[in-house]
Amino acid sequence: AQSVTQLDSQVPVFEEAPVELRCNYSSSVSVYLFWYVQYPNQGLQLLLKYLSGSTLVESINGFEAEFNKSQTSFHLRKPSVHISDTAEYFCAVSVFTGGGNKLTFGTGTQLKVEL
Amino acid sequence: NAGVTQTPKFQVLKTGQSMTLQCAQDMNHNSMYWYRQDPGMGLRLIYYSASEGTTDKGEVPNGYNVSRLNKREFSLRLESAAPSQTSVYFCASSELDTQYFGPGTRLTVL
């Protein structure tokens, strides 16, 4: 079985400051890694994912995450946040099989960007 | 192209009442999922359907049943609602690695 730990339930940050949201996972087999974002009163949207290849993955809106196998981490970073980045961020892992792609989610990190 | 749609958006039930949450996707995805989201607990998988005609239990299936009506539709039924089932319910669909989520149903059981 897989598990995901997001230690920070809330992260306040000022606009234009850098931010890191931490994610650690546990699994006995190789996993795929995801970050999803949830804006208020909406469903989840995929932000970025790591399946294989380059360990550094980027989103279209400036976020990036690096897969670190030795530390079993997949931390999310952005060098300069905007007020519109205020949302809840979920890290997730999956083990893809022929029977679908079941995700195991962390408990989420609420990012609050302040002026 | 609506993606994943869910009905209703809000629902209030009394303990013991039954209801069905509806989910439909127009992306021709094989796999569909039902999650519940509770504060401080993230999303937990209730049931999933890897393909039309198959369903399997997830992490928290007790008190729920599902039906994969066809490739597009996947419904979640609460036979006898309990206050512990107060939650936000999300449906999702996927083809390969990425899941696409609906807007959610906020359910309150009194």
Predicted confidence (pLDDT) at residue A61 exceeds the cutoff of 80 = yes
Residue B66 has pLDDT above 80, yes or no: yes
**CB B42 to CB A98 under 8 A?**
no
Task: Give the distance from CA B103 to its chain's centroid.
Answer: 11
| Backbone φ, ψ for residue A54 (5° rounding) | -55, 135
pLDDT digits (tens, 9 = 90+) for B87-106: 999 999 998 888 999 999 99
Indicate the residue of B4, B49, B98 with minimum beta-carbon distance to A49: B98
Structure tokens at A79: 């060098």
Contact list in A for residue B56 (CB cut-off 8 A) is 99
**For residue A91, what is the nearest residue in chain B, using CA coordinates?**
B42
Average per-residue pLDDT in chain A? 92
**Residue A77's pLDDT band (cuts 50, 70, 90):** very high
Mean pLDDT of A58-86: 95
> d(Cα B93, Cα A94) in Å, to the nearest integer?
14
Nearest to B42 among A34, A51, A90 (CB): A90
Given a cut of 70, whether residue B1 has pLDDT beyond it is no
Q: Mind telling me how many Å the CA of A110 is from chain B's nearest CA?
A: 10
The whole-angstrom separation of Cα B87 and Cα B79 is 16
Q: Using H for helix, E for strand and C for coil, what is the string for chain B? A: CCCEEEECCEEEECCCCCEEEEEEECCCCCEEEEEEEECCCEEEEEEEECCCCCCEECCCCCCEEEEECCCCEEEEEECCCCHHHCEEEEEEEEECCEEEECCCEEEEEC
Contact call for A43 and B90, based on CB within 8 A: yes
Flag whether pLDDT at A99 surpasses 90. no
- Per-residue confidence at A100, pLDDT binned at 50, 70, 90? low
Q: Which of residues 53-112 of A touch B (CB under 8 A)?
A: 90, 94, 96, 98-108
Residue A89: predicted pLDDT: 97
